[in-house]
Amino acid sequence: MALDRKIAYIDLSTGKIETRPIPIEVRKKFLGGRGLDAYLLYNHAPQGCDPLGPDNPLMISGGILTATCASATARTHIMAKSPLTGLLGSANMGGFFAPEMAWAGFHHLVIKGKAKSPVYIWIHNGRIEIRDAAYLWGKSTTETQWAIREELGDEDIKSAVIGQAGEKLVRYANVMTGIKNAAGRTGMGAVMGSKNLKAVAVRGTMDIRIAHPVDALEHNKHFIDGITGAKVNKTQGALGTPFIWGATNSWGGLRNRNFQYNQMEYADDIEPERLDEIATETIGPHHMTGCFGCQVHCRAQYKIPSGPYAGKYDEGPEYTSQGAFGAEPDCRKAETVLAGNHLVNQYGVDNLEIGSMIAWAMELFELGIITTKETDGLDLRFGNDEALLEMVHRICLRKGWLGDVLAEGGIPASEKIGKNSFDYLIQVKGMNNLHSDERGTPGLALNIATASRGSDHLRSRPAIDLYHLPEKVMRKIYSSPVPYDGPLSSEHTDYEGKPWQVFWHQNCYMAVDCLGICKYHTVFLGATLPNFEDWPKVIYYNTGLEFTPVELWEIAERCNNLERLFNLREGLTRNDLKKGDMLNHRYFDEPTRRGAPDVVGRTIDRQKFNKMVDEFYSHCGWDKKGVPTSETMQRLGLNQEPSHLL
Amino acid sequence: MSIKVSIHKTHRHLTGGLETVDVKGQTVGDCLKDLIERYPEMGKVLFKPGGKLHPLIEIYLNTKSTYPDELKKPVKAGDEIYITLMLAGG
Ligand code: SF4
């Protein structure tokens, strides 16, 4: 049964391993996945602990629906205190790892301490072993996975691993499984590296009993019809996430040359159709691959056609890599995007963060804030493809002064570089933004400012706000499962109603991350895709647990508040540019220079922004400082936290 | 008979700034054709060069998506067509 999957506590300092069932009462309050991880983090991380120290607990989990008869339950969640931000660390990846871990008997791992030498954790049908990984240290993410399979003699083993970036404690190193599935954000790979933990390998053949299998399958059939019948999924299944590149760029929604422009010129070479043309075995309906239990298959595959990385096979590139190795550094060659994507996958580093860091350094170089002295002779101007890829190597291996400094993350790097370098860093809470430019979209600006893990599009982004949906459709989505009769606007440039949308999506995505499903199977991507009304049925048929949509909403609220409590405990204050819900001054002061008439010349209005934050806080049940009120704590049953139930 | 087409803000510079345009036709396809006859630049953002509806454009008729076979969907007087642009992802 899904609910009999256990939690394991693994202490790498002592070698002690303990397993426990997860009480139903805890499930009912936090479900699983990210929500339950937030509970574990709040309960197990000592206040003010060093993110790269042995006390920082690392959680790895699947959602409550993982490996059941529900579709797309592929996501693995990883949480710890972030070495990048000093606040909440949280990242999520697709692939096949979490389902395999569930078949091996576990939904949640809590890993503490630090091994004396490199190790990996081997989990097999209820048994857990800590094994020597000295021979794996220094290997790439894929080499590590194949080597573990070879050592243990089982081709079906799935591993979550770090590459050299994690070993070198690059503060935005990621955790990877498969070729391109990356728990990318907030430096969870560095936390693994700090524990001398190279990998967690899992293999399981333990049945998961489904509570109501006939209903579960029948319901999933409807779900699949809905998913495969949606136009957005058809498009995504043919072109992958790059499908939005062209329209977003021509509209003017991309960061180009760090933050100087909001549109990239001469970008045709990195259109998905062009990537398909130049790379063998790439994008297109017959080349796409997918995660566990997915019917969308949004993942392209490719071989690099020429240049220094010719013949290298990889998966992607995602839209995020088009930004990281295209728009932000203003590099216009498809090959550079493919090569950059390959390097980050092999080193195990967050493509969003590294692309933003290098673009920021390029702007500093062009402004004379850093010179060839700091770059060890590298001509770090925008548009220099070779310099871009060279910087990826240097950061991941901490080579040279600048490589080492940039590996520390944006805020520490700005302190080392000095002058006014911080003013040019497009970050929130110490984490860089995706390559999107939110100056024309106040709702999206509010999302990145208030997202719990720093500037991020996957925590509360009202992505469908950009669609121009009929107002009645918007009203239907946003008035359920709890009533809402306040303002709503299908104009993406408006400020009114956006705080509710951001609040609604914050709860929606938390619920999704507790279930362990892919966001592309939810209202994140399309108005017709499932949300709160659908999920209680899926949970009931698969696990037997009964919730109403409102109860599910409340669980999401509870988990979001726990993340907030953690951030507040670790120093978040509302207007702090480094640790608060605040945007870089450029959003308010520098008008956009390119794009369609609806975005050109736009800034975020500071007064209206502050009003949106006030309203958002009020929807969340927080006071003007962004602290949950005692009524909110009471209502969500959080006033006894930390309660140490697990 | 008159049908209203609601234009995405991103495209309004192609319709002289108009938020909605009244069009005529029996189907969604007819209505879009009528729109493009008056505002030819809209053709480039709605359709791919081969004549297929752009993969990022989803047409809503009143409150429902018209996908698939969008252009064949019948319309009646008083209906509203929404041109939506699927810019989510990442
Ligand atoms: S839509 Fe893409 S990311 Fe999501 S489960 Fe399917 S293949 Fe994985």
pLDDT of A365-398, one tens digit each?
999 999 999 999 999 999 999 999 999 999 999 9
User: How many whole angstroms from A316 Cα to the centroid of ligand 1?
Assistant: 12
- Cis geometry, peptide bond prior to residue A481 (ω within 30 degrees of 0): yes
Which residue among A179, A223, A287, A298 has the greatest number of ligand 1 atoms within 8 angstroms of its CB, and so is best to mutate? A298
The 10s digit of each residue's pLDDT in A38-84 is 999 999 999 999 999 999 999 999 999 999 999 999 999 999 999 99
Residues A144/A135, Cβ–Cβ less than 8 Å = no
Contact A525 B89 (CB under 8 A): yes
Name residues whose C-beta falls within 8 Å of residue A232's C-beta, 6 or more positions apart in sequence: A525, A526, A529, B58, B86, B88
The 10s digit of each residue's pLDDT in A335-364 is 999 999 999 999 999 999 999 999 999 999
Which residues in chain A have their CB less than 8 angstroms from residue B73's CB? none
Measured by CA distance, the residue closest to atom 2 of ligand 1 is A298
Residue range A94-104: mean pLDDT, rounded: 98
Residue range A288-294: mean pLDDT, rounded: 93
Which residue among A244, A319, A518 has the greatest number of ligand 1 atoms within 8 angstroms of its CB, and so is best to mutate? A518
| pTM over cut 0.90 | yes
What is the pLDDT, as a whole number, of residue A280?
67
Residue range A259-277: mean pLDDT, rounded: 91
Contact A230 B67 (CB under 8 A): yes
What is the pLDDT, as a whole number, of residue A288?
86
Q: How many CB pairs under 8 A join A and B?
A: 103
What is the pLDDT, as a whole number, of residue A287?
72
Which residues in chain B have their CB less than 8 angstroms from residue A244's CB? 56, 86-90
**Nearest ligand 1 atom to alpha carbon A518:** 4
Q: Over 60: is that where the pLDDT of A283 sits?
A: no
Which residues in chain A have their CB less than 8 angstroms from residue B58's CB? 231-232, 467, 526
Contact B88 A464 (CB under 8 A): yes
Residues A467/B57, Cβ–Cβ less than 8 Å = no
Q: Over 90: is that where the pLDDT of A408 sits?
A: yes
Q: Over 90: is that where the pLDDT of A636 sits?
A: yes
Distance in angstroms between the alpha carbons of the first and the last residue of chain A: 20
What is the pLDDT, as a whole number, of residue B89?
65
What is the pLDDT, as a whole number, of residue A284?
57
Contact A457 B90 (CB under 8 A): yes
What is the pLDDT, as a whole number, of residue A233?
92
Q: Over 70: is that where the pLDDT of A222 sits?
A: yes
Contact A319 B89 (CB under 8 A): yes
* A interface test, pick of B56, B64, B83 with most A CB neighbours within 10 Å: B56
Which residues in chain A have their CB less than 8 angstroms from residue B52's CB? none
Q: Is the CB of A232 under 6 A from ligand 1?
A: no
CA distance A435 to A323: 5
Contact B8 A247 (CB under 8 A): no
Q: Is the CB of A94 under 6 A from ligand 1?
A: yes
The 10s digit of each residue's pLDDT in A440-489 is 999 999 999 999 999 999 999 999 999 999 999 999 999 999 999 999 99
- How far, rounded to the nearest angstrom, does the alpha carbon of residue A547 sit from its chain's CA centroid? 27
Contact A467 B68 (CB under 8 A): no
Q: Over 80: is that where the pLDDT of A286 sits?
A: no
Which residues in chain A have their CB less than 8 angstroms from residue B56's CB? 235, 243-244, 247
- Which stretches of chain B are assigned E, i.e. beta strand? 3-6, 20-23, 57-61, 64-65, 80-85
Q: Is the CB of A524 under 6 A from ligand 1?
A: no
Contact B86 A232 (CB under 8 A): yes
Q: For the beta carbon of residue A550, count every other beta carbon within 10 angstroms.
A: 13
Q: How does DSSP assign A526-548, residue by residue?
A: -TTS--TTTHHHHHHHHH-----
Which residue among A291, A509, A521, A529 has the greatest number of ligand 1 atoms within 8 angstroms of its CB, and so is best to mutate? A291
- Of A269-278, A303-312, B46-55, give the lowest mean pLDDT range: A269-278
Q: How does DSSP assign A122-142, residue by residue?
A: EEETTEEEEEE-GGGTT--HH
The 10s digit of each residue's pLDDT in A484-508 is 999 999 999 999 999 999 999 999 9
* B interface test, pick of A283, A457, A468 with most B CB neighbours within 10 Å: A468
- What percentage of chain A has pLDDT greater than the value 70? 99
User: How many whole angstroms from A518 Cα to the centroid of ligand 1?
Assistant: 6
Q: Is A195 exposed, middle or buried (0-12, 13-18, 19+ CB in 10 A)?
A: buried
What is the pLDDT, as a whole number, of residue A98?
98
Determine contact: B84 vs chain A, CB below 8 A.
Answer: yes
CA distance A325 to A254: 13
Determine contact: B80 vs chain A, CB below 8 A.
Answer: yes
Which residues in chain A have their CB less than 8 angstroms from residue B85's CB? 247, 466-468
Q: Over 80: is that where the pLDDT of A300 sits?
A: yes
Nearest residue on chain B to A598, judged by CA atoms? B10
- Nearest CA-CA distance, residue B3 and chain A, Å: 15
CA distance A109 to A123: 11
Q: Over 90: is that where the pLDDT of A538 sits?
A: yes
CA distance A589 to A406: 26
Which residues in chain A have their CB less than 8 angstroms from residue B55's CB? 231, 234-235, 238-239, 243
User: How many whole angstroms from A161 Cα to the centroid of ligand 1?
Assistant: 20
Determine contact: B77 vs chain A, CB below 8 A.
Answer: no
Which residues in chain A have their CB less than 8 angstroms from residue B90's CB? 241, 244, 318-320, 434, 436, 457-458
Nearest residue, CB atoms, A231 vs list B58, B80, B88: B58
- Of A51-65, A284-298, A592-606, give the lowest mean pLDDT range: A284-298
What is the pLDDT, as a whole number, of residue A285?
58
Measured by CA distance, the residue closest to atom 7 of ligand 1 is A290
What is the pLDDT, as a whole number, of residue A492?
94
Check the CA dihedral A526-A533-A552-A221 and report its sign: negative
User: How many whole angstroms from A304 Cα to the centroid of ligand 1?
Assistant: 23
Q: How far is CA A5 from CA A93, A110, A568, A643, B34, in A?
A: 20, 14, 32, 22, 59
Which ranges in chain A are annotated with CATH 1.10.569.10? Answer: 230-432
Where does B1-90 have alpha helices with state H? 28-38, 41-46
pLDDT-derived band at A12, boundaries 50, 70, 90: very high
Which residues in chain B have their CB less than 8 angstroms from residue A185's CB? none
Contact B63 A473 (CB under 8 A): yes
Domains defined for chain B, CATH in brackets: 3-85 (3.10.20.30)
Residues A471/A488, Cβ–Cβ less than 8 Å = yes
The 10s digit of each residue's pLDDT in A618-627 is 999 999 999 9
Q: Is the CB of A291 under 6 A from ligand 1?
A: yes
What is the pLDDT, as a whole number, of residue A305?
87
**A106 three-class SS:** strand
Residue range A613-617: mean pLDDT, rounded: 98
Determine contact: B22 vs chain A, CB below 8 A.
Answer: no
- The answer to whether the complex's ipTM is over 0.90 is yes
pLDDT-derived band at A436, boundaries 50, 70, 90: very high
Question: Over the range A357-367, which residues count as b (16 or more CB within 10 Å of their CB) and which as e?
Answer: bbbbbbbbbee
Which ranges in chain A are annotated with CATH 1.10.599.10? Answer: 442-635
CATH 1.10.569.10 fits A230-432, yes or no: yes
Determine contact: B58 vs chain A, CB below 8 A.
Answer: yes
Q: Over 90: is that where the pLDDT of A281 sits?
A: no
Contact A248 B67 (CB under 8 A): no
Measured by CA distance, the residue closest to atom 4 of ligand 1 is A518
Nearest residue on chain A to B88, judged by CA atoms? A463
Q: Is the CB of A519 under 6 A from ligand 1?
A: no
Nearest residue on chain A to B70, judged by CA atoms? A231
Residues A462/A447, Cβ–Cβ less than 8 Å = yes
Nearest residue on chain B to A475, judged by CA atoms? B63
Dig out the tokens for A78 from the structure.
């990883």
- Which ranges of chain B have pLDDT less than 70? 1, 89-90
Q: For the range A276-281, what are the long-range contacts, defined as Cβ-Cβ under 8 Å and sequence gap of 24 or more?
A: A276/A300, A278/A305, A278/A334, A278/A335, A279/A303, A279/A304, A279/A305, A279/A334, A279/A338, A280/A305, A281/A313
The CATH number assigned to the domain with range A442-635 reads 1.10.599.10
Q: Is the CB of A518 under 6 A from ligand 1?
A: yes
Q: What is the mean pLDDT of chain A?
A: 96
